[in-house]
Amino acid sequence: MGDGGVTGEPGLGLPGGSAACLFDVDGVLTETATVHAAAWKEMFDAFLRIRAGADGEPFVPFDTVADYDSFVDGLPRADGTRTFLGSRGIELPDGADDDPAGRATIHGLGTAKNQIFLRLIHDGGVEAYPGSVRFVRAARAAGLRRAVVSSSENCAAVLEAAGIADLFEVRIDGTTEAHEHLPGKPAPDTYLAAARALGVEPAHAVVFEDALSGVEAGRAGAFGYVVGVDRVGQTEALRAHGADVVVTDLAELLGSP
């Protein structure tokens, strides 16, 4: 199905001509952003504590708001690991994809973070934001195409655990990035891939993002509209990075003119 003939419904709060909705997952559809932040913190704090003990430097823990938002949110796992370490002046070799958890390489630390994340969602489950589910169902009823775009390789498992996988026609995730050699956010390539898969021009697609890197990707891809989702009090930053509108919950858009 192409992008012609489908227009945004006033009741969805989207511009006329909108034909598709492209959703980030963590923090937009599911309450997993806090789980990711907790997993990053557990992994980085263990690494930083050992490093501080070895070189006598003070231990400065990972901040689940400032560090998460600035350096890892929305990025592929290896990029997030590398970017945060770089902010602390730490350089590590990339290592190999199969490096064991905790090895002092980018991939080793990333593997440790992923194992912690999977443990946390196994123990605590995954919840979808009710307002987001209402919005996606309304978009489906209005005839808009729907895709999820996430840098996480666990995206499919998260959607299934939250019970919302059937609401989307296309999934572009961390596995897709690796297989198709797509650069992650803030590059627009993953969102552009989702629009292509749906047969919709970027100008007729709406991006929904809570990550600063994600709204940058939406702006860089010349998408028709970028909705920032503010769960942690960063409305101004989301606007500055490219969001056309910022809401605290997608349900706020329902019934909007």
- Tell me the C-alpha distance between 77 and 111, whole Å: 9
Are 174 and 80 a contacting pair, CB within 8 Å?
A: no
Closest CA to 248 of 85, 77, 131, 105: 131
Two tokens, residue 196: 């292509």
Q: What are phi and psi of 176, to 5 degrees?
A: -60, -45
- Tell me the C-alpha distance between 120 and 38, whole Å: 9
User: Which of the residues 3, 26, 73, 189 is marked catalytic?
Assistant: 26
Are 75 and 174 a contacting pair, CB within 8 Å?
A: no
User: Which of the residues 24, 79, 173, 230 is marked catalytic?
Assistant: 24
Identity of the residue numbered 221: G
* Residue 24 annotated as catalytic: yes
The alpha carbon torsion through 181, 184, 187, 192 (nearest 10 deg) reads 70
Active site residues: 24, 26
